[in-house]
Structure 1
Amino acid sequence: MDQPPHGRAEAFLVGDAPLLRFHKRLALYSGGGPFLDGYVLSVIGIAMVQVTPQWGLNSAQQGLIAASATIGIFFGSFLGGRLTDHFGRRRLYTVDLIAVIVFSAAQLWVDDFWWLFLLRVLIGVAIGADYPVAASLLTEFTPKKYRGPFIGSLTVMWFAGAASAYLVGDVVTRLSDQGWRWMLASAAIPAALIVLARVGTPESPRWLAGKGRVDEANAVVAKIFGPHATLEIEPGRPAGGVDALWKSGYFGRIVFVTTFWTASIVPLFAVYAFGPRILTGLGLDGRTASMGSAVITILLLVSCIIALTAINKLGRRTLLIHSFAWSGLTLLLLGLFPGSPVSVILCLFATYAIFTGGAQVLQLVYPNELFPTEIRGSAVGLASSLSRVGGALGTYLLPIALDRWGVGPTMLGAAAIALAGLAVSVAWAPETRGKSLVDSARI
């Protein structure tokens, strides 16, 4: 634990507190769930290269396996949001990832399509539950100056997990034709490390205060920030639960967050789940396609890091609009000219990777800033769940679309979704830069 800033003689709000090592550790540990999400979603794309011929999977079965974790996240995010608003952030912060360890390890012995599907759904449920828990906890502890970059860093961890999956997968698939089993089970290792790191994390003082446990909240604040720190008062708190999301103007915010989140992940999830296959369809051979997917993943990671440096300079709204505009244009070009030289195809995919980062990092920033503490977890969970409907549907339909229509029309469909996200952002995206959580959540 950090030494609190006792040397500050003047009182200050938690939202104006200095940055402590506690915040940095919390951001790192909270990124464990998104890391596992990116790892689990991406590693299946490589594993399917071996699983498909061994099990004789058709396109529909491939789509179900690829979408299984996303289906689980749909249920897990909603459930996790409800539970974290009711029982607190701390209780679920470690329990959810223990399930990831168990179900990931069980994939070593799976020998049936439906068992693999079920295990990956359960892994998705556990990972999905972690999103509202970890994001709410990080949001409610972080000073407003660092809130955007810190919450956005959770998305960077998603891409770090995805990049790690491609690197691990490329090595393991060369060892044996059963390497896919070890590849899928390997998610248990980072999950175990994250669980151990999270032990001892304190409860959110904002959640405690919202439940009337003011003395406990003040004790946490004093321990972390020192005796001169105080919590901002959140007036007019809505009753907790999903019902409050439909009242007092919050319905419009849920629609905005869900729509732009869906538009940003559908093309991305399709690329991740079937990246090698898409690149093969665009003219690359198998080995080059796999390595191309790994390079694109690394570029996506770099893109998100760039977006984090720009989120406070450009503001949330401007960053979101430009991200959708340029990434959508790139997908449009891929769809219109699928027969371009390999170098052009790779450059276009790389350009998409560079520009999509802004929309990706804002997926968790906006919902955590636009809703008050009492319903923050439920809002993040609901938005994550609803967006995953589109993500799961897109991932399921992608191999079918590739078989029936080819890469060009499929990329045009992805472009249309991204440009729809642009239209929604231009119409509805608010600006929350520099605002306290009280002000940004106020209708």
Structure 2
Amino acid sequence: MTSTAAPPRTGLVRRLAFAATWGEGLDGFDLGVISVALPFITKALGLTPVEAGLIGASSLIGIFVGAPLAGFLTDRLGRRLLFTIDVMAFIVLGLLQGVVTDGLQLFVVRVLLGVAIGAEYSIGAAMLSEFAPARGRGRRLSGLLVGWYGGYLVAVITAYVLIDGLGLSWRWALACSALPALVTALVRIGFPESPPLLLAHGRGDEARAIVYRHLGGSQYFDDERFGAEEDGPKAALFRGENLKRLAFLSVFWACNVAPYFAIFTFAPTVLKTLQLGDPAVGTIVVNAMAAVGAVVGMLSIEHIGRRKQAVPPWFAMAAALAVVGLWAGAPAWVIVLCFAVSSFLNALSGNLTAVYPIEILPTAVRSSGVGVAAAASRVGAAIGTFLLPVGIDAIGTGACMLIAAAICVVGGVVSQVAAPETTNRDLVDTSTSPLTAGTRVPTR
């Protein structure tokens, strides 16, 4: 049902959105900085292409473990505890990157960092969505991806400035991620527990006290239908309709991130093999376009709806990557333009990886489901990231781009068949309605 609730009466949701967005920014930063630093690391530590691929994929491997584990713990122990603890790992592991002495140590540290990143995926969006009102929820959740792409872009620029501009070691580029992590840790102090989660655990009095104190009293509680969570059936993640939702989320998310991580983790290398004169400029441009795409997606999602943002971009991305794959010797501006269009649209539709998992999974298994979907998506991303440098040597960059285009077509077809319309619907409705393409429920 479409929500008619008034906005929260305090700034709690805005502060929570800021804290969650900074957490996503840390994820993007730690994944983005390696794309610039990896060639320098490879040379300094004498890595083979296979070892470089493993380090490039290391955080994705960690996400595969961390996302479902943290999701499981968050659904059972509460959002608030892990929301605070997880960010501390970013500080410690960020600093450890600066003191490793060989490739194996760096691989282990970045796998653990990936565990923390996976935890952030499972916690931050769920925490924010369960406080935010239905109207405008998509914009707030999309803002998390703006933080992610912004963090990725800042990491790329920072790494180039520190390594190329100032002549500092790659160690400084990796270790500097501890500073924004410290800021994030300070911002996250003092949040209450999620009311829907408390209701799902039978702690209705505590949930009502939090809603009445921080959000908008009994009227807000009724308008956002918190009580339906208290009375609703307990959900099972791997059965019935929830299993269908989980399958859709996993494929959608995997098809979105696999080409992105595979290409942009090795963006300087990819652009160099395509005879681009200045890979650094090209890398910054295409990542800047991703950040712009995330912002455009955030601003437009409540106006054009989830489904229109989910389906058409896939096929345009496939076309852009196919041009790179098929046009051998294309001018540099064509290559940069195609990658820029692809990254823009990838981020535009990628906003839904922070929205759909939250909106179509029930509270009792929301973080667990997000964790499983994130882990499944990172299987494809990790495989692609590991195989890309090997594939460039074996079959060439053009063939690798055609494979990425084919993955986008798969994402488009699956979205056409299954992507629902959830705009302005409360979480109870979106997580209990059958998963049917374009389905809406009557306005309340």
TM surpasses 0.5:
yes
Kept in 2, the 8 Å contact 1:15–1:436? The answer is no
Measured in 1, the distance between the counterparts of 2:216 and 2:142 equals: 27
1:9 equivalent in structure 2: none
SS of aligned partner of 2:330 = coil
1:259 equivalent to 2:255? Answer no
2:379 equivalent in structure 1: 389
1:205 equivalent in structure 2: 195
Write out aligned runs for 1:41-440 (5 A).
Answer: 41-174=31-164, 179-227=169-217, 228-230=219-221, 231-234=226-229, 237-239=232-234, 244-285=236-277, 288-440=278-430
Kept in 2, the 8 Å contact 1:160–1:301? The answer is yes
Query: Per-residue displacement from partner, 1:13-58 (whole Å, max 9, x unpaired)?
Result: 9972315532222111101232111111111111112111122211
Alignment gaps of 5+ in structure 2: 435-444
Letter in 1 for 2:105: W
**1:202 and 1:167, CA in 2 relative to 1: closer, same or farther beyond 3 A?**
same
Q: In the TM superposition, what is the alpha-carbon distance from 1:354 to its structure 2 partner?
A: 2.2
Question: What TM-score do the two structures reach when normalised by structure 1?
Answer: 0.93
Measured in 2, the distance between the counterparts of 1:112 and 1:154 equals: 34
Kept in 1, the 8 Å contact 2:256–2:350? The answer is yes
Q: In the TM superposition, what is the alpha-carbon distance from 1:323 to its structure 2 partner?
A: 1.4
SS of aligned partner of 2:311 = helix
Measured in 2, the distance between the counterparts of 1:109 and 1:346 equals: 35
Kept in 1, the 8 Å contact 2:12–2:215? The answer is no
Measured in 2, the distance between the counterparts of 1:184 and 1:128 equals: 18
Equivalenced residue count is 426
Which segment is superposed worse, 158-167 or 288-297? Answer: 288-297
Measured in 1, the distance between the counterparts of 2:34 and 2:152 equals: 10
Query: Per-residue displacement from partner, 1:216-246 (whole Å, max 9, x unpaired)?
Result: 1111101112334313412764546xxx112
Measured in 2, the distance between the counterparts of 1:395 and 1:419 equals: 19
Alignment gaps of 5+ in structure 1: 1-12
SS of aligned partner of 2:240 = coil
Measured in 1, the distance between the counterparts of 2:45 and 2:395 equals: 25
SS of aligned partner of 1:292 = helix
Kept in 2, the 8 Å contact 1:338–1:407? The answer is no
Kept in 1, the 8 Å contact 2:162–2:168? The answer is no
Kept in 2, the 8 Å contact 1:15–1:142? The answer is no
SS of aligned partner of 2:229 = coil
Measured in 2, the distance between the counterparts of 1:404 and 1:236 equals: 57
2:7 equivalent in structure 1: 18
Query: Per-residue displacement from partner, 1:244-294 (whole Å, max 9, x unpaired)?
Result: 112231111111110010000011112221011111111113xx2112111
Question: What TM-score do the two structures reach when normalised by structure 2?
Answer: 0.93
Letter in 1 for 2:27: D
CA RMSD of aligned residues (A): 1.7
Measured in 2, the distance between the counterparts of 1:35 and 1:300 equals: 14
